[in-house]
Amino acid sequence: MKVVRNGEARRASRIGVVRSRDTASGLSSANLPVDSILRGDCVAELSKLPARSVDMVFADPPYNLQLQGELKRPDDSRVDAVDDAWDKFESFEAYDAFTRAWLLAVRRVLKPTGTLWVIGSYHNIFRVGAMLQDLDFWILNDIVWRKTNPMPNFRGRRFTNAHETMIWAAREPGARGYTFNYEALKAANEDVQMRSDWLFPICSGHERLKDEAGHKVHPTQKPEALLARVILSASKPGDVVLDPFLGSGTTAAVAKRLGRHFVGIERDPAYADAAQARIDAVEPLPEAALALAPTAREAPRVAFNTLLDRGLVAPGTMLTDAKARVRAMVRADGTLSLETAPGLGQIGSIHRAGAIAQGLEACNGWTYWHIETREGLKPIDSLRAVMRSEMAIAAE
């Protein structure tokens, strides 16, 4: 494949300044060359980038396949396996050193809230996973990509190798605030939690990049649907997604389509050219198709006493549990006084009082306590909803 255009010139016009949600906190992505492909070795290129500037990394490193000679199908045709120089390593030690180097470089550019995805097969994923742990990343999940159409095992000596493994990891143990769009994933999955096993076809047909001669441009091009789920799961619109082994550019193309910024690193000029052309052809989806639905977690906090301030609840009102057995009186300061045993006479927040009344450690008072209305007994959470809609109008 030949280089058909001037990548440098094209790149310069495309580099933008990312509008990062973390700019205010000093984790600036301002010096990050977003929406461009960096041509060069991934460790060298990563070390030029600002620290703590990237929201999510997806990495598809060489698999170190260790094929022992060529493989033929039952009809004696040759299997076009991965035998490229970039997939060759002298030894496991060499592969480990390589893995360690790029993982450390990735950790430096990740924001503290950022997460890393790595995909691999049994040839390399165990080494990658162990190294992640050794380097003090924190594994959140391992995800299995089940292939609907894997290559069969031609010799009949093993099980059909029908899956690959991804590891999703936070920057360090105890990392807080990483992005996981739980509600969106659940809503998209028949309203049940998304599981750790995903089913997708391998990349083929029109999606598979081919050169003029009809040969595949890259031997291990990943399906866009797989990357779409990864990016939709663990990043927000406007985030920066980095791929240190860009290859044919799937990560960048999908990131662009989904309204994320991308940074791609690729050493091979032919791959980089193909990826750039592919990315240029991508049209981002309209914002309305991307915006995340507000979640209960992110809803503005409402203190119970603001309901009293607004006159939605009067001091002296009696609250009860759903079955109207347990009773508590609303005091002027927004605390409750239990009027029934257990806990008779005890005073505390709606949450503490609910916990005491049930003999539990914790309780969500908003859903436990009910109030008598014209339409019958309703959870005080319905008053909070009224409160929140009033706040929303006021904010406009």
User: Which positions from 185 through 244 interact with a second copy, judged by CB under 8 A?
Assistant: 185-191, 193-197, 199-201, 225, 228-229, 232-233
**Residue 25: DSSP 8-state:** G
Total site size for DNA, rule CB under 7 A: 82
Please count the other Cβ atoms lying within 10 Å of the Cβ belonging to residue 277: 15
From the list DNA, a second copy, none, partner contacted by residue 177 (C-beta under 5 to 8 A by kind): DNA
From the list DNA, a second copy, none, partner contacted by residue 73 (C-beta under 5 to 8 A by kind): DNA
Please count the other Cβ atoms lying within 10 Å of the Cβ belonging to residue 176: 7
| Contact pattern from residue 326 through residue 365 relative to DNA, giving x for each residue in contact according to CB under 7 A and a dash for the rest | -----------------------xxxx---------xxxx
Q: Which helix (H) or strand (E) holds 58?
A: strand 54-59
Residue 388 in the binding site for DNA (CB under 7 A): no
What is the nearest approach in angstroms of DNA to the Cβ of residue 140?
Answer: 6
- Which amino acid is present at 230? V
Confirm if 229 and 208 have CB atoms less than 8 A apart: no
Alpha carbon distances (Å) from 28 to 49, 163, 206, 239:
11, 38, 39, 12
Q: Which of residues 5-34 bind DNA (CB under 7 A)?
A: none
**Which sign does the torsion angle of CA 201, 207, 213, 219 carry?**
negative
> Judged by CB, which is closer to DNA: 5, or 73?
73
Q: Which of residues 92-121 bind DNA (CB under 7 A)?
A: 121
When binding is defined by CB under 8 A, the residue of 333, 340, 342, 389 that contacts a second copy is 333
When binding is defined by CB under 8 A, the residue of 9, 213, 281, 288 that contacts a second copy is 288
Candidate ranges 96-104, 178-186, 262-270, 387-395; the one touching DNA (CB under 7 A): 178-186
Residue 80 in the binding site for DNA (CB under 7 A): yes
Q: Which of residues 131-150 bind DNA (CB under 7 A)?
A: 133, 138-141, 148-150
Please count the other Cβ atoms lying within 10 Å of the Cβ belonging to residue 95: 22
> Judged by CB, which is closer to DNA: 34, or 64?
64
Structure tokens at 14: 């495309």
Residue 66 in the binding site for DNA (CB under 7 A): yes
Candidate ranges 47-55, 135-143, 273-281, 372-380; the one touching a second copy (CB under 8 A): 135-143
Q: Which of residues 74-113 bind a second copy (CB under 8 A)?
A: 76, 92
> Judged by CB, which is closer to a second copy: 28, or 349?
349
Q: Which residues contact 154 (CB under 8 A, 6 or more apart)?
A: 71, 72, 73, 74, 79
**Residue 174: DSSP 8-state:** T
Q: Which of residues 262-321 bind DNA (CB under 7 A)?
A: 295-297, 299, 301-304
Structure tokens at 109: 């550019």
- Which amino acid is present at 135? L
Residue 182 in the binding site for a second copy (CB under 8 A): yes
- For the sheet with 261-266, list strands across it: 36-39, 261-266, 240-243, 54-59, 110-120, 163-170, 138-147, 197-200
